[in-house]
A and B are shown apart, each in its own frame.
Chain A
Amino acid sequence: MSQAVLVFVALNAILAFSFYAVLVAGQLSLGQAGFGALGAFTAVALAPEPSEVGDVPALLVAILIGMVVGALAAVLLGLPTMHLRGVFLAIATLGFAEAVRILLINAEWTGGANGMSVPKVVTPLIAWVALAVVAYWFWRQGPSSYGRALAAIREDELAARAMGIDVGRHRLSAFVTAGAVAGLYGVLWAYFVRLLAPEDFDFTRAIDGLVTAVVGGSTMWLGPLLGSGFLTLVPEVQRALGVEAGWIRPFIASALLLVVIVFLPGGLGSFLPRVRVRARPTASGAGTDRPGLVARTHAAAGEPVVRIVGGNKDYGGVHAVRDVDLTVGSGEVVGLIGPNGAGKTTLVNMISGLVPASSGTFEVLGTRPGRTPVHRIARAGVSRTFQHSKLFPRLTALENVLVGAHVVSRPTFLRRLLWLPGARRDEAVVVDHAAGCLARVGLADRSSVDASALSYGDQRRLEIARALASDPSLLILDEPAAGMNNVEADALSELIASLADEGLTILLIEHNVGMVMKTCHRIVVLNFGEVIATGTPEEILKNPAVVEAYLGSDGDSPPGTPHTQEAR
């Protein structure tokens, strides 16, 4: 294998890592070619000549400049485009990259379309050292709390936000990482090919980088290297086998690309065993003594945790919630019942800040939902489950719960980079805590199963464990018993009671009226968006308005009958 091939495998892998950096957070950016071009041209223009200061110092200075410029460009592009998703983000970043390329072609200092001549400094050793550093970075990033937060954003952005993850900041930092790595790629490329031209950073190059990252596997840190090795070597192998040049080579390369992507969903990385976080068998459970976790104190019993005055939500002409006044005291277990479409979920969506109210005052644990960003509300101690499970499907049960513990765990990524022992200790504490939460809902033996592979009832329980992991003051459960049998529902009642004993405030939406009656201190009944009754379970059972709302005015079965679930 020639030296050039060795270098290109490393360089293509570094480019692919710059795509991997954002793909792990579920973002599709095609701006990396632009970051790389800006980094490379600025570095070559500003860095000292290798003939004056020596090869390696000159290259190091150039790399530093290139990475800083790439990262800065990523910030500049990232800030205005952070609200874009999916293909829109891809095309906006692509537009940026193309604009950069055209600017560089038309600028004087870059030598225009002819480019700049650059001394050749990069050797296979240098290229592979650079690659090793980049790969090391992503290897350490993966299982850190930061890496898990990025994975959570990729799997379900809304749920990640509800778990207290600042999605904007995480997405931007992933973007900046991509910019810096792309800048590194640009500089190495420039100091290897001797002639730096804007055409080296065109649309095709961006697509190549993306293809390499995805073929290698965008959820596995070795993926970009595997992809680069595969795609760079396929033409080499064909040449060695004596396959004629011309159309056959690109045909076979494209066909292989298609085969890999269709038959290997995780890319080539799926051949490698996946490293899963494992719970230690000695896990002590979610005790009170957790030195590595951020401590939280609940409000004193009876102090208002939720205060809503005149809460309203309109969707067009539909009044989903009308003039709701509700105060929930610390330590209370409040049931929220009502027929389908009564506005229960809308109300808790407003309390957890996911949906802004049309009018009314909302105060939850000192935050103002609707104005305070969702992740800050979660940070203040609000945690919830969703009516339709919003788990992170490709993460294991334990990893799901670890994401739930995001707001109470300490960041470990930077310490993991330096192998500081504290990081390992903190990780172990969080893993124990998460394993304890899983055990509490009866899923201890399912911890290493992917969330998507769990049964429906187990998924509901996993959501509760994930919500518990943030050590919440206010726990909102949206139809947690849906799909559970009576035995499971009873176990859930007991769990809720034990949580209430610990001082948690719980807001429970549930159609299983028997369970609500048994579990809650107080019940609020909604119908057509309005509160039609509040009171103790006994009062609610006797309330004629409630009976009418549930059964119609001439109903003949008692309101304790469990409501049938609508199937979804």
Chain B
Amino acid sequence: MQQLLNGVFLGSIYALFAIGFTLVFGILDRLNLAHPAVFAAAAFIGIELVTLGGVSIWLAIPLVAGIGALLGLVIERVAFRPLRGRPDAHFAGLISSIGLAGMIIALLLWRYGPDTRRFPADAFPATTFEVAGARVTLLQVAILAISILLMVGLTWLVARTRLGRAMRAVAENPRAATVLGIDVDRVTATTFALSSALGAVAGALFAMNVNSAQLGMGAAIELKGLAVIIVGGMGSLPGALVGGLLLGLAEVFAVQYIGSSWRDLVAFGMLFLLLVVRPQGLFGSRRVREV
């Protein structure tokens, strides 16, 4: 039971990270590899806000989300917008976002140094609960609640609001969307802001969960995020949620039953098999190719 819950907590952070990843992919058909850098930046900034600014961790989360959104706007403006209309925009976007990610990480190195950072010891509430014999901290419950709340909110936003409709229109056909009076640039920028805000919150929550932040934390989760969005189906929001939870559970149980050195093999082996058998993922729909 304890393992199950740990898997769910971990998985919900993966899902939150992946959902931002997949949002940009689903709507703009681009992989934003600066997303993991936002994840890492948010963790460091969150710790600084709490440590130096004396902000409570509850307030730090919306602040971090705001900073993430700003970073998202920068990423879109600098690394993606200049590439529009290029035949190799797919590859070029990967590379330009890697470049920008390198710059962000270098800035983090300048500001925070190469060492691991932690939240101050008294930043977390000490409340714990007993759930079916397993011990759960208030923080873990909060992580789960915040993740689910944000994911449900995002799904609602995409499915029900005017902005969400515009996003789906852009995903379907940017040119037609322009003709229909949708400001594609603005929708694109908003998508990046939302995506990065989610990635930032995921970074802050991840740092709280393990109480540490490292420069390499983004790179470590990057592969897992890719695995999650593939398993869930590229661009599928519920898919990213389910995929994230599955990966969290698979990791926790793989460590327990197979051994930690094989943990990642399970994930990637499954990923590979799934891609070969069902490339559109569990929840994705195959795009029809036009002749």
Contact = CB atoms under 8 A, between A and B. Distances in A.
B279 to A, nearest CB: 5
Contacts of B276: 80-81, 92
Interface stretch (A100-108, A187-195, A463-471): A100-108
Interface string B11-26: 0000000000000010
B125 interface: no
- Interface SS of chain A: helix, strand, loop or mixed? helix
Given A28-B91, A246-B110, A96 B279 contact: no
A468 B88 CA distance: 29
Interface stretch (B46-54, B75-83, B236-244): B75-83
A321 to B, nearest CB: 14
A215 B275 contact: no
A255 B99 contact: yes
A151 B101 CA distance: 31
B127 interface: no
B103 A255 contact: yes
A28 B31 CA distance: 13
Interface stretch (B137-145, B148-156, B259-267): B259-267
B98 interface: yes
Residue of A23, A95, A250 with most chain B CB atoms under a 10 A cut-off: A95
B255 interface: no
A265 B78 CA distance: 15
Given A88-B275, A210-B95, A94 B90 contact: no
A556 B288 CA distance: 41
A264 to B, nearest CB: 10
Contact of B262 (A86, A106, A262, A345): A106
A253 B102 contact: yes
B234 interface: yes
Interface string A9-39: 0000000000000010000100000000000
A247 B88 CA distance: 30
A250 B105 CA distance: 9
A99 B272 contact: yes
B162 interface: no
A207 B98 contact: yes
Contacts of B82: 262
Interface in B103-125: 103, 105-107, 109-110
A203 B264 CA distance: 13
Nearest to A204: B219
Nearest to B223: A203
Contacts of A261: 83, 92, 95-96, 99
A152 to B, nearest CB: 14
Nearest to B261: A106
Given A84-B275, A88-B279, A102-B265, A215 B95 contact: yes
Contacts of A256: 99
A83 B269 contact: no
A394 B87 CA distance: 9
A92 B275 contact: yes
Contacts of A23: 91
A250 B99 contact: no
A214 B92 contact: yes
B102 A250 contact: yes
A386 B272 CA distance: 36
Contacts, number: 135
A211 B25 CA distance: 20
B103 A258 contact: yes
Residue of A23, A83, A99 with most chain B CB atoms under a 10 A cut-off: A99
Given A251-B103, A254-B100, A262-B83, A218 B110 contact: no
Contacts of B103: 251, 254-255, 258
B99 A95 contact: no
Interface size class of A (residues with CB under 8 A): 35 or more
Contacts of B279: 83-84, 88, 92
A80 B279 CA distance: 11
B88 A218 contact: yes
Nearest to B112: A247
B36 to A, nearest CB: 11
Interface in B62-98: 78-79, 82-83, 86-88, 90-92, 94-96, 98
B58 interface: no
Given A84-B279, A215-B95, A265 B291 contact: no
Contact of A355 (B101, B110, B291): B291
Contact of B95 (A83, A91, A214): A214
B11 to A, nearest CB: 19
B8 interface: no
B109 A103 contact: no
B227 interface: yes
Interface of A: 23, 28, 80-81, 83-84, 86-88, 91-92, 94-96, 98-99, 102-103, 105-106, 155, 158, 203-204, 207, 210-211, 214-215, 218, 246-248, 250-251, 253-258, 261-262, 265, 345, 349, 354-355, 386, 393-394
Given A91-B271, A250-B102, 8 more contacts: A88-B275, A98-B223, A99-B268, A158-B291, A255-B103, A257-B99, A261-B92, A262-B79
11 contacts: A28-B94, A81-B276, A83-B279, A95-B272, A99-B269, A203-B222, A214-B91, A250-B102, A254-B105, A255-B99, A386-B291
